[in-house]
Structure 1
């Protein structure tokens, strides 16, 4: 048997949450892949990241490797409820191992969100989001201009604003009354959070689907402390000058597997389930 060179091996990172079942699955994967000459286990510049837990675990892994999106692919094992990003159940580990052994590098790509925050002193912070990014004002009602593709669209008053990706449309965006988008659609969705609408103050009052070429700008009109969330990360900034949202040039890549089922099947399973004929 010919010994494989290090450069010929597939570099794999295994990341699990702290639950007992997740640790058990991680231990099995680690033991099998460690003894397989085709793989090299490392968390440094991996080719494939296996997440074990749920969608939250995959979101965390995405942010761990968001600077390596051109070279890394993700695959998830869920050990709890059905997840939108996880293709395998905890009892399907052997099936996943067979897929990895026969892997040819195929991938499924979805768009992600780029968020740029500019403070009044000129400092800028850039983040990437797989699901969504939101802004809220902590002290009082948030007042902000919404600019879409350089058009001053509305002056928003309310609790906050969420901008989601297509894959994130089934998460917080849906709970706000936003539409569900298929994840292959390269678009953003802006959804208001408890906007004020009366005969004095008016907003569009519904979610807006914005194409890839357009940029969204949120320009706060009052000083204060703002609470910003990017997926499962949170930040607090004072005196935000503006926040820009746009489709990032990079995408997240998933390992293309037979278990990467129809998006609409996942939506049905998550929100509707079985129904009587």
Structure 2
């Protein structure tokens, strides 16, 4: 691992944001931290913004396994991935530099499209129709046909991703200490021809989920990877498994995942 004193800030560069961040930069330097421009040289990667910025930071830096990620929100924001905000950045630095670090590990899912391109997701992978027509998908678990889905699409979420898009479709919120992934439906059609479970279901870490797109004219669905959308021509199948990779973050004391869920939703 690179020197723990090397820190990289991930944010959308502009003068207004940099002006707000200057006190943080000065605080980091005063704690003998080296601010590096290349994330490959950092042992700590700090996203600035909300959960969306954290997801982008992890994706754009390649889901690194040899560093710690952490997120800082602006003072008026909250986030499920971000333990810190502008007002307690010094607390994060103190934890990193002077205390025994508590590390939280988040599961990551891997999606392989057409047996070729492979992508990692910290939140979820979704497959949705791009036209005003429902999409039909064969749902296969461990090479066993489970159901034929027809509707707007499907979401496959990690435990931490369960509080986002998945939750909005009445999926369950899952403890991130459980290594698994969850499948949720988007506006499924249930009739004499198509029949689905009609609820979310959770798969263990050793399961393999295959989604085969039925080629009936809806051959160009959108694949959503966390907060990015990809148009991939002629998608035939997507295979999803739980990756061996995990995202390691600095854990703030007395701020568990469920503390943040409570603050956000209750």
Superposition TM-score, scaled by structure 2 size: 0.90
Q: Secondary structure at the match of 2:194?
A: coil
Residue by residue over 1:117-150, the C-alpha shift from the partner in whole angstroms, topping out at 9 and shown as x without a partner, is: 11xxx7x211111110100122321011000111
Question: Are 1:178 and 2:174 counterparts?
Answer: no
Q: Distance in 2 between matches of 1:8 and 1:217?
A: 41
Is 1:11 the equivalent of 2:6? yes
Q: In 1, distance between residues paired with 2:196 and 2:68?
A: 40
User: 2:258 & 2:16 partners in 1: Cα distance?
Assistant: 28
Match of 2:86 in 1: 90
Are the equivalent residues in 2 in contact too, given 1:145–1:221 (CA < 8 A)?
A: yes
| Alignment-derived partner of residue 221 in structure 2 | 226
Query: May I ask how many residue pairs the two structures share in their alignment?
Result: 259
Of residues 106, 111, 129, the one that matches 2:121 is 129
Correspondence 1:109 to 2:102:
no
Tell me how large the CA RMSD over aligned residues is.
2.0
Q: Is the 8 A contact 2:113 2:235 kept in 1?
A: yes
Q: Note the residue ranges of structure 1 that are not aligned, 5 or more in a row.
A: 1-6, 273-277
Cα displacement string for residues 155-189 of structure 1 (whole angstroms, at most 9, x for unaligned residues): 11001000000000000000011000011110010
Q: 2:204 aligns with which of 204, 211, 216?
A: 211
CA deviation after TM superposition for structure 1 residue 8, in Å: 5.1
Secondary structure of 2:232 counterpart: strand
User: 1:9 & 1:196 partners in 2: Cα distance?
Assistant: 52
Deviations 1:188-233 (A, max 9, x none): 1000110001233211110010000001100011152111110111
2 CA distance for matches of 1:183 and 1:19?
Answer: 34
SS in 1 for 2:161: helix
1:245 to 218, 229, 240: 240
> Which residue of the partner structure matches residue 186 of structure 2?
193
Q: Distance in 2 between matches of 1:95 and 1:160?
A: 42
Runs (5+) with no aligned partner, structure 2: none
Tell whether the 8 Å contact from 1:17 to 1:53 is kept in structure 2 after alignment: no
Distance 1:145 1:8 in 2: 48
Matched with 1:275 is: none
TM-score by length of 1: 0.87
CA distance in 1, matches of 2:99, 2:54: 20
The alpha-carbon distance between structure 1 residues 9 and 48, as it changes in their structure 2 partners (threshold 3 A), is: closer
Give the 5 Å matches for 1:32-111: 32-37=27-32, 39-42=33-36, 43-45=38-40, 46-68=42-64, 70-79=65-74, 80-104=76-100, 106-111=102-107
Does 239-248 or 198-207 show the bigger shift?
A: 198-207
Change (3 A) 1:63 1:271: same
Deviation of 1:267 (Å): 1.5
- Max Rg structure: 1
- 2:39 counterpart SS class: coil
The answer to whether residue 265 in structure 2 is matched with residue 271 in structure 1 is: yes
Q: Distance in 1 between matches of 2:101 and 2:20?
A: 23
Deviation of 1:104 after TM superposition, in Å, equals 4.5
